[in-house]
Structure 1
Amino acid sequence: MYPNLLAKRAALTPNRVGLRFSGEDWTFDQMYQEATLFAQKLSSKGIQPGMRIAILASSNQELMFALHGCMQLGCELVMLNERLTEEELSYQLADSQADYLLVDSHEKRNLASANIISFKDVYAAIPTQLEIEKEWPRQRTITIMYTSGTTGRAKGVRQSLENHVMSATGSALNIGVQPNDCWLCNMPLFHISGFSILMRSVLYGMTVSLHSKFDAEKAVEEILTGTVTRMSIVAVSLERMITILEKKNLLFPNTFQSMIVGGGPVPLNYLERAIERNIPVLQSYGMTETSSQTTTLAAEDAIRKLGSAGKPLFFADVKIDGEEKIGEICIKGPHVTTGYVGNASSINPQVNGWLHTGDIGYLDEEGYLFVLDRRSDMIISGGENIYPAEIEQVLTKHSAVKEAGVTGRSDDTWGKVPVAFVVLKKDASIEELKEFVKDKLASYKQPVDYYIVEQLPRSASNKLLRRELLNTIKKSPNVD
């Protein structure tokens, strides 16, 4: 058993600021009171401990209190991505078998769910007496987050209390914890990158400065005040912040301790410029199945081990599966999920205790991990993970499409963007294909360019070679 995290934190440091949003502060005691009241009102609406509650809302103080409130009531949280289409959200709601959908506004979406409750509905309810548990089972499911698999369909990943606690503990042992720590969180709370900051906050007694979305100017401005000590980000966003500092000829203050960067290696140019601006960059590698980080590269090793994701955190182990030096990355540790929900519930994520990630990489002679291919073909666009197979499945549903291949192309703004290559069996225009996927995929997953080709590159075993797709543009005169 673990203690009720927020209740324990409120008892230990009741007057310490736990949340800062839009110029207003809440202490941990105030957060606990808000969360308890929200739980009591949820109970009066018929929501009971153990129920599965899907949440669709923007990141703000209301969402923070709602998440903690659901946890106080003992509910499982299904974290829904606001950027998904109605079709994608409907699938996840059905697959997770959520008992209720909690939204910040009824006007936001038109989802066919019988049990929709808004924050406003909850606030209007009369609270009921509720006994708040002082201890939580370690294997209790806290969150369910959907991550696309290489086969295309999103899988609901269970993240237990132990997964979250051990992930946060491993990170703390790596970066250290100070009483004045403040983590600037502009990652959405429905992502593991954002939710993990919420969990670290109650375990460390750390302030979260919550932003609804990433704004490079605002982030830089706040860090320059000296109040923020840490931040999580992706490489593309880091570069935007560096550019602002360069234009103003400013440095980050020494109060800023670490910039944790995920979503792929940080280019040498970014690292060199970050050093000049006094930004300690810690590159990391993790995934939804590992409740955030598994490895982290120390700032002092950033140049020496360029391209590395660092060494495993204290409770994590990493090995390479295969006879060669390069192979599939496998992860073991108490932060690794024990299973999925819905259609993927029969899949065991661990083989003899090891999570086989599908990512390809190697460990050097000093034990540093190098990730060569993110889940083979995954596209990381502005910090979002995009799987080509999911887009290909949608495209091949079009009556004119015989085959489809999708890959990522470098982009100055987003890092990479998806590009589609299509073999037709009857005439169809590119505009028609664009319109076909418009309502079936989130905007960031939609291909920015389409190429009509005679054939797709394949291996001797007829496997699609996505890495060769871009070469098709150069080699074939028949590419549109």
Structure 2
Amino acid sequence: MPHVWPTVVHMLDDAARRAPQHTALVCGAEQFNYRQYAACVAGLAAELRQAGLGAGERVVVFMANSPDVAIAIFGVQAAGAQVVPMNSAYTASELKQVLENADARGIIYDEAASAVVNEVASGFALRYCIGSGPGAQRLVRWAGQPELADALPLPSPSEPAILQYTGGTTGVPKGVSLLHAAVSANISQREALVPTRAGQERVLAITPLFHSYSMAMGLYLAVYARSTLVILPRYRPDTVLEAIARERITLMLGSPTIFTGLMGFEGFAQADLNSLRLCASGSAALPEETLRRWEAATGCAVCEGYGQTEAGPVIAFNPLNGVRKSGTVGVPAPETEVQIVDVHDGDKVLPQGEVGEIRVRGPQLMTGYYGRPQETADALRGGWLYTGDIGQLDEEGYLTICDRKKEMAIVSGYNVYPREVEEALFRHPGVREAAVIGVPDDYRGEVLVAHVVADAGVTQETLAGFLAERLVKYKWPSVIHLVDSLPRTGVGKIDKKVLRAMAGKG
């Protein structure tokens, strides 16, 4: 396996020493080399430690894409604390729900999120507002003190690195706790299957850097390769295509939504994509036709992988320098065991080609869900992570994802649990019953469809507005059906199989 660093901060320290003048971060007109990057991380780490936010503490990073969020993530980890990256589009109620579990004493947030943070921020030992207005400051301000890079603090591999929240089957997010050793091992596991070229890559980060996929395949990959991370504040097809041409991007982090959106953009045929040598696809299953169309149009290979936040996140990838099998998510990463087991109790290992639940064992696994011992015990059994995904292994060890055991929907790369949306609908006084399902969508991977039994006078527009005040946009149903009743099973439970079948016919 490629070299494994003790922690990601050791990796950044090495890059700053071996390639101090190499451009590390680009965002619009801003650029920072590796020595400046490490200096900013060291400056933030010192302030966090001074505030008592070191080993054993957790610090929330509630920020959109920018150079500051990259510095914040590394800075918290350099201080010895555990970083808790969160979606900067969360509403106050969503943020509060996570904070009640995280036991975080510090928060670093964008100036634009001040109103949301102010609603829930009591109890923080440190509030760090990032911006240019009154009371706000930038984390890039230490770039003018490059000597700080020489004193970059290095955490222990055995310390917690990330507390990454993912959806729960009950609608309550779960905090996946990963040690530094697990995160670093996973970076090298990915490197074995999708190798980079030291000092030569220019990586385009389109998806939000708080997402486990973007952290693994963008933030950390770029530093491992001592290469350049080009950060886009937000996704727009025109700005993505312009950035690829202007910045001579070599590696793009994609998803089904991104690939489909770019190919559907009117300027796609004229775009200069000659610099691309590789596109990675993750966060949702990539339709074979989408992959075929992209590779035919660009001449650039797409390596599709599979992962879960609970597994660092990379579990498998189609190898860049090997056979890439369309329709599969590739082979397990080095030192990763993947087995297919029966879906009932998970004890019987199924033979090659049979379909069952995927379970995984390797050095990249989480220690557990923070503060949730029962859910940890359900997911981690006998050293194996039971993924809840359904798949099969072929004769060459390539993994195919067939379905999901859980009801989770993946909307534009985000995990969404229908129960959470149902619970939000139930808060409306006029809603009597609600059932939400995920259905396939060519653009977003999946979208949510809600079926609601409501009182007279309640409209689809009323419910849409009600949800918009309580949920981040990707959790909004694309369609809300007002119905007289919901289908039931023989024991009186709402029959979502019938709803899915109806959606398929529609």
For the aligned pair, the TM-score class normalised by the smaller chain equals 0.7 to 0.9
The alignment covers a number of residue pairs equal to: 473
Matches within 5 A, 1:267-286: 267-276=287-296, 277-286=298-307
Equivalent position SS for 1:241: helix
Change (3 A) 1:300 1:48: closer
Q: What's 2:357 paired with?
A: 328
Among candidates 320, 326, 332, match of residue 312 of structure 1: 332
Q: What's 1:347 paired with?
A: 376
Change (3 A) 1:248 1:346: closer
User: Residues 289-347 of structure 1: CA distance to partner in whole angstroms, max 9, x if unpaired?
Assistant: 12222111246989x84321111111322111115621111111111111111346762
Among candidates 396, 404, 423, match of residue 434 of structure 2: 404
Q: What's 1:189 paired with?
A: 209
1:293 maps onto 2:323 in alignment = no
How far residue 13 of structure 1 moved from its aligned partner, in angstroms, is 2.2
Q: What's 1:441 paired with?
A: 471
Matches within 5 A, 1:194-233: 194-196=214-216, 197-225=218-246, 227-233=248-254
**C-alpha contact (below 8 Å) 2:68/2:138 kept by paired residues:** no
Q: Match for 2:281: what amino acid?
A: V
Q: TM-score, normalised by structure 2?
A: 0.84
| Distance in 1 separating the partners of 2:27 and 2:415 | 27
Among candidates 318, 337, 341, match of residue 366 of structure 2: 337
Change (3 A) 1:243 1:366: same
How far residue 164 of structure 1 moved from its aligned partner, in angstroms, is 1.4
Among candidates 34, 38, 41, match of residue 35 of structure 1: 41
| Distance in 2 separating the partners of 1:119 and 1:198 | 19
Matches within 5 A, 1:169-188: 169-179=188-198, 180-188=200-208
1:111 maps onto 2:119 in alignment = yes
How far residue 378 of structure 1 moved from its aligned partner, in angstroms, is 2.2
1:55 maps onto 2:61 in alignment = yes
Change (3 A) 1:178 1:301: closer
1:70 maps onto 2:96 in alignment = no
Among candidates 384, 405, 414, match of residue 384 of structure 1: 414
Q: What's 1:234 paired with?
A: 255
Change (3 A) 1:20 1:428: closer
User: Residues 372-404 of structure 1: CA distance to partner in whole angstroms, max 9, x if unpaired?
Assistant: 223533222222221112212333344554442
How far residue 19 of structure 1 moved from its aligned partner, in angstroms, is 1.4
Q: What's 1:85 paired with?
A: 91
Change (3 A) 1:354 1:463: farther
Change (3 A) 1:15 1:362: same
Among candidates 2, 6, 11, match of residue 2 of structure 1: 6
**C-alpha contact (below 8 Å) 1:55/1:80 kept by paired residues:** yes
User: Residues 98-123 of structure 1: CA distance to partner in whole angstroms, max 9, x if unpaired?
Assistant: 10222121645242212333136575
Q: What's 2:165 paired with?
A: 146
| Distance in 1 separating the partners of 2:261 and 2:502 | 32
Q: TM-score, normalised by structure 1?
A: 0.88
Q: What's 1:25 paired with?
A: 31
Equivalent position SS for 1:63: helix
Q: Match for 1:173: what amino acid?
A: A
| Distance in 2 separating the partners of 1:49 and 1:376 | 35
**C-alpha contact (below 8 Å) 2:438/2:446 kept by paired residues:** yes
Change (3 A) 1:135 1:102: closer
Q: Match for 1:145: what amino acid?
A: Q
| Distance in 2 separating the partners of 1:245 and 1:432 | 35
**C-alpha contact (below 8 Å) 1:316/1:334 kept by paired residues:** yes
Q: What's 2:393 paired with?
A: 363
**C-alpha contact (below 8 Å) 1:181/1:207 kept by paired residues:** yes
Equivalent position SS for 1:447: coil
Equivalent position SS for 1:111: helix
Change (3 A) 1:410 1:135: closer
**C-alpha contact (below 8 Å) 2:82/2:162 kept by paired residues:** yes
1:136 maps onto 2:155 in alignment = yes
Q: Match for 1:198: what amino acid?
A: L
| Distance in 1 separating the partners of 2:55 and 2:282 | 34
Q: What's 1:374 paired with?
A: 404
**C-alpha contact (below 8 Å) 1:401/1:426 kept by paired residues:** no
User: Residues 417-468 of structure 1: CA distance to partner in whole angstroms, max 9, x if unpaired?
Assistant: 2111134588854444334433222222122322234544455566644343
Larger deviation, residues 215-224 vs 305-314: 215-224
How far residue 264 of structure 1 moved from its aligned partner, in angstroms, is 2.9
| Distance in 1 separating the partners of 2:460 and 2:85 | 34
Q: Match for 1:340: what amino acid?
A: Y
Change (3 A) 1:346 1:329: closer
**C-alpha contact (below 8 Å) 2:341/2:356 kept by paired residues:** yes
User: Residues 147-189 of structure 1: CA distance to partner in whole angstroms, max 9, x if unpaired?
Assistant: 0022221101112212211111011111222120121111211
**C-alpha contact (below 8 Å) 1:245/1:251 kept by paired residues:** no
Equivalent position SS for 2:235: coil
Matches within 5 A, 1:415-434: 415-423=445-453, 428-434=458-464
| Distance in 1 separating the partners of 2:136 and 2:334 | 41
Equivalent position SS for 1:416: strand
**C-alpha contact (below 8 Å) 2:241/2:268 kept by paired residues:** no
| Distance in 2 separating the partners of 1:229 and 1:375 | 36
Change (3 A) 1:97 1:426: farther
What's the Cα RMSD here? 3.2
**C-alpha contact (below 8 Å) 1:40/1:130 kept by paired residues:** no
Change (3 A) 1:251 1:119: closer
| Distance in 2 separating the partners of 1:360 and 1:131 | 48
Change (3 A) 1:51 1:306: same
